[in-house]
């Protein structure tokens, strides 16, 4: 039964023949059973199995766990990696969350297509309860996904035991004669997760015998609803003009829909969402205050200027001047400037090659530029107004200085005297300020 559940989950995720599958092995019973089942199923599914253990160096038993994982893999002849991570003891997120973050980052860096985790149905029920007690919305209540597709160089994640009960996994381990290690911290009911596992769920189970599978089923319903909200956000973004959004179009949506859209965009950029009250306040200002507007929401800022509306990183990077020597990108603040070679477009390459210095730097006082030979030379402020660049962004605009003459200003364009003629080799700079299109 258990191997069949794992097999179904792998098929549903699309872990096919030739896929490189890495089992995230903690040494506990769940991932140990998963490793054995994956090993048994490998000939049927045709994936290439490996395993990895992350050594956090936090528990006095950490070396013993790593050793147990290594020897189990040696017995099964499964390639094994041991990854050591440094967990900052004073991390603001707390020690457990920091360990988890470092562990996932280390696992994500493994050369594989899929990572398999040993989370099971009891974990799913605990996760749902835990999140509900933190006031989660629909997305949080969706708990853990059975699988997450590989994306942007990151392996996919699959949780093949998510439909299996803990007791069934332990029974399978005993029947197979497996030895496993117990994480001593799992028994400490001062931790919320352990309290839910050892106290709350057993108590609930006395009255609701099917509490765990029922909660897991509810999580699946929440996942469906959460996916629908994502689809709605994608539709709303497209109807509102993409990124940046058209302010008028956004304002015609309800607050709940705008919040849904902004949350979805923030997630895509990898920014943490602020608490609901902060977002409500930002929306209130958006409706009430005349533009321009910039409201900082933790790691990001909600900006409105003219008819544009967008999220951008609120955490600036460095804006140090740097020489351009032909590289494809130069980092700039929280974003970067990309340089692409295209015939007849952008800056004439021959002028860059002849120049004594080509530097990416900020604007300087008195900057003036002519965007076309039949247009007047304009001051920086006017150029920004014409290009709808909001005031708070102006000090952060990248400028490409060629022998101290501005050849290109990010978001504005190329100076007429540097423009590439049709048929010549051109260099097209593109500024990506991390969040603002
Ligand atoms: N040290 C480790 N090295 C490799 N994989 C690990 C390690 N610890 C945990 N895992 C993987 O993560 C799965 C879940 O373990 P655990 O519940 O302890 O971690 P978690 O990711 O913090 O869980 P949760 O998401 O429930 O908080 C394990 O079954 C295993 O696949």
CATH number, domain of 181, equals 3.40.50.620
Task: Tell me, yes or no, whether 260 and 152 share the same domain.
Answer: no
Q: Give the model's pLDDT for residue 379.
A: 95
Task: Tell me, yes or no, whether 270 and 198 share the same domain.
Answer: no
Is the pLDDT assigned to residue 317 strictly greater than 70?
Answer: no
Mean pLDDT of 311-338: 86
Mean pLDDT of 172-182: 92
The rounded percent of the chain whose pLDDT value lies above 90 is 76
Distance 327 CA to ligand 1 centre (A): 40
Q: Is residue 224 in a domain?
A: no
Q: Is residue 362 within 8 Å of 398, Cβ to Cβ?
A: yes
Last residue of a domain, one of 183, 202, 218: 218
**Strand, helix or coil at 322?**
strand
Task: Tell me, yes or no, whether 59 and 176 share the same domain.
Answer: yes
Q: Is residue 195 in a domain?
A: yes
183 or 171, which is more confident?
Answer: 171
Residue with tokens 């974990």: 123
Which one of 69, 94, 103 would you pick to mutate in the ligand 1 pocket, going by the greatest count of ligand atoms within 8 A of its CB?
Answer: 103
Q: Is residue 51 in a domain?
A: yes
HSE, side-chain direction, 13 A CA sphere, residue 32: 25
Q: Give the model's pLDDT for residue 367.
A: 95
Task: Tell me, yes or no, whether 182 and 261 share the same domain.
Answer: no
Task: Tell me, yes or no, whether 358 and 389 share the same domain.
Answer: yes
Task: Tell me, yes or no, whether 57 and 203 share the same domain.
Answer: yes
Mean pLDDT of 353-362: 94
Q: Is residue 187 in a domain?
A: yes
| Nearest atom, ligand 1, residue 186 CA | 18
- Strand 156-158 relative to strand 147-148, pairing: antiparallel
Q: Give the model's pLDDT for residue 415.
A: 97
| Nearest atom, ligand 1, residue 116 CA | 31
Burial 367-405 (b: 16+ CB within 10 A, else e): bebebeeeeeebebeebbeeeebbeebbebbbbbbbeee
How far is the C-alpha of 9 from the C-alpha of 381, rounded, in Å?
58
- Which residue's CA is minimally distant from atom 18 of ligand 1? 26
Strand ranges of the sheet holding 335-343, from the earlier edge strand across to the other edge: 329-332, 335-343, 425-432, 347-348
Lowest mean pLDDT among 43-47, 182-186, 366-370: 182-186
Distance 152 CA to ligand 1 centre (A): 22
Q: Is residue 233 in a domain?
A: no
Give the domain extent around 206: 2-218
- Strand 80-84 relative to strand 48-55, pairing: parallel
What ipTM goes with this model? Answer: 0.94
Distance 54 CA to ligand 1 centre (A): 10
Distance 437 CA to ligand 1 centre (A): 37
CA-closest candidate to residue 96, choices 86, 87, 105, 108 = 87
Q: Give the model's pLDDT for residue 33.
A: 98
How far is the C-alpha of 369 from the C-alpha of 405, rounded, in Å?
9
Q: Give the model's pLDDT for residue 432.
A: 78
Task: Tell me, yes or no, whether 262 and 330 share the same domain.
Answer: no
Q: Give the model's pLDDT for residue 315.
A: 74
Task: Tell me, yes or no, whether 34 and 158 share the same domain.
Answer: yes
Work out the mean pLDDT of the chain and round it to a whole number.
93
Task: Tell me, yes or no, whether 272 and 330 share the same domain.
Answer: no
103 lines ligand 1 (CB under 6 A): yes
Total domains in the chain come to 3
Task: Tell me, yes or no, whether 302 and 184 share the same domain.
Answer: no
Task: Tell me, yes or no, whether 175 and 260 share the same domain.
Answer: no
81 lines ligand 1 (CB under 6 A): no
Distance 26 CA to ligand 1 centre (A): 6
Q: Is residue 377 in a domain?
A: yes
Is the pLDDT assigned to residue 435 strictly greater than 60?
Answer: no
Last residue of a domain, one of 250, 284, 313: 313
264 lines ligand 1 (CB under 6 A): no
- In this predicted model, what pLDDT tens digit does every residue of 54-67 receive, in sequence order? 999 888 889 999 99
- DSSP string computed for 183-204: -GGGG-TTSHHHHIIIIIHHHH
Q: Is residue 264 within 8 Å of 233, Cβ to Cβ?
A: yes
Q: Is residue 110 in a domain?
A: yes
Last residue of a domain, one of 313, 331, 365: 313
Q: Give the model's pLDDT for residue 434.
A: 58
27 is in an annotated binding site: yes
68 lines ligand 1 (CB under 6 A): no
Mean pLDDT of 366-383: 94
How far is the C-alpha of 32 from the C-alpha of 78, rounded, in Å?
13
- In this predicted model, what pLDDT tens digit does every residue of 197-243 receive, in sequence order? 999 999 999 999 999 999 999 999 999 999 999 999 999 999 999 88
Q: Is residue 96 in a domain?
A: yes
Kindly state the tokens that stand for 147: 């699988």
pTM of the model: 0.80
Mean pLDDT of 102-131: 97
Query: Which range has highest mean pLDDT (133-137, 162-166, 270-274, 361-365)?
Result: 162-166
Task: Tell me, yes or no, whether 71 and 11 share the same domain.
Answer: yes
Q: Is residue 331 within 8 Å of 398, Cβ to Cβ?
A: no
- Identify the burial level of 290 via C-beta atoms within 10 angstroms of its C-beta, where 0-12 means exposed, 13-18 middle and 19 or more buried: exposed
Kindly state the tokens that stand for 326: 């032909």
């Amino acid at each position: 039964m258990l191997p069949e559940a794992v097999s179904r989950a792998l098929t549903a995720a699309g872990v096919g023949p030739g896929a490189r599958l890495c089992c995230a092995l903690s040494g506990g019973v769940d991932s140990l059973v998963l490793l054995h089942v994956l090993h048994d199923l490998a000939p049927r599914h045709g994936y290439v199995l490996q395993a990895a253990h992350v050594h956090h160096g936090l528990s006095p038993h950490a070396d013993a766990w790593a050793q147990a994982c290594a020897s189990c893999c040696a017995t099964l002849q499964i390639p094994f990696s041991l990854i050591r991570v440094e967990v900052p003891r004073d991390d603001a997120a707390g020690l457990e969350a920091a360990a988890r973050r470092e562990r996932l980052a280390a696992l994500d860096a493994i050369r594989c297509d899929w990572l398999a985790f040993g989370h099971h149905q009891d974990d799913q029920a605990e996760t749902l309860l835990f999140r509900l007690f933190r006031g989660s919305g629909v997305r949080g209540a969706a708990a853990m996904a059975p699988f997450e597709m590989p994306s942007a160089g990151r392996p996919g994640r699959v949780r093949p035991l998510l439909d299996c009960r803990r007791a069934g996994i332990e029974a399978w381990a005993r029947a197979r004669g497996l030895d496993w290690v117990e994480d001593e911290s799992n028994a400490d009911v001062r931790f919320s997760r352990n309290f839910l596992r050892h106290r709350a769920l057993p108590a609930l189970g006395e009255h609701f015998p099917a509490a765990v599978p029922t909660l897991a089923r509810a999580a699946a319903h929440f996942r469906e609803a959460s996916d629908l909200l994502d689809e709605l956000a994608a539709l709303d973004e497209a109807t509102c003009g993409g990124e940046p959004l058209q302010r008028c179009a956004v304002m015609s949506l309800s607050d709940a829909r705008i919040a849904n859209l902004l949350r979805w965009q923030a997630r895509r950029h990898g920014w943490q969402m602020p608490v609901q009250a902060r977002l409500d306040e930002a929306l209130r200002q958006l409706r009430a205050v005349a533009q321009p507007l910039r409201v900082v929401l933790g790691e990001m800022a909600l900006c409105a200027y003219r008819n544009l509306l967008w999220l951008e990183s609120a955490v600036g990077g460095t804006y140090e001047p740097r020489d351009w020597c032909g590289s494809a990108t130069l980092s700039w603040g929280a974003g970067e400037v990309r340089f692409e070679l295209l015939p007849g477009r952008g800056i004439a390459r021959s002028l860059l090659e002849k120049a004594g210095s080509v530097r990416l730097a900020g604007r300087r006082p008195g900057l003036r530029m002519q965007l076309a030979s039949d247009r007047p030379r304009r001051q920086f402020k006017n150029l920004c107004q014409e290009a709808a660049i909001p005031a708070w962004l102006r000090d952060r605009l990248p400028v490409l200085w060629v022998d101290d003459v501005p050849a290109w200003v990010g978001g504005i364009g190329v100076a007429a005297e540097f423009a590439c003629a049709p048929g010549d080799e051109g260099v097209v700079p593109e500024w990506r300020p991390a969040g603002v299109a």
